[in-house]
Amino acid sequence: MFGLSLGKLLVLVAIIAVVWYGFKHVARTEEVRQREARRKAPAAGPKRVEAEDMTKCGVCGAYVAAHGAAHCGRSDCPW
């Protein structure tokens, strides 16, 4: 019923080869698209982080932001 002949084996090998090379072609096409997208995208420089002034807490000695410091939860917190 499920006899294995030379013709069937050749067709099976051909189908496997078509699927294999099809996947390789799709992967190569996607890689080229990504490379082109990177080339066309503007070069993003490193993000600049602004420095913030810190103030030493007179109670616990921890450094907190000079502007916008929030209450830490201690009863003697100056902020």
| Each residue's pLDDT tens digit, 12-49 | 999 999 999 999 999 999 999 999 888 887 666 677 77
Instruction: Please state, as a whole number, how many other Cβ atoms lie within 10 Å of the Cβ of residue 72.
Output: 14
In the chain, beta strands by DSSP E: 54-56, 63-65
Q: Is residue 57 within 8 Å of 64, Cβ to Cβ?
A: yes
**Antiparallel, parallel or unpaired: β 63-65 and 54-56:** antiparallel
Q: How far from the centroid of its chain's Cα atoms is residue 63's Cα?
A: 33
pTM higher than 0.85: no
As a whole-number percent, the residues of the chain with pLDDT over 90 amount to 33
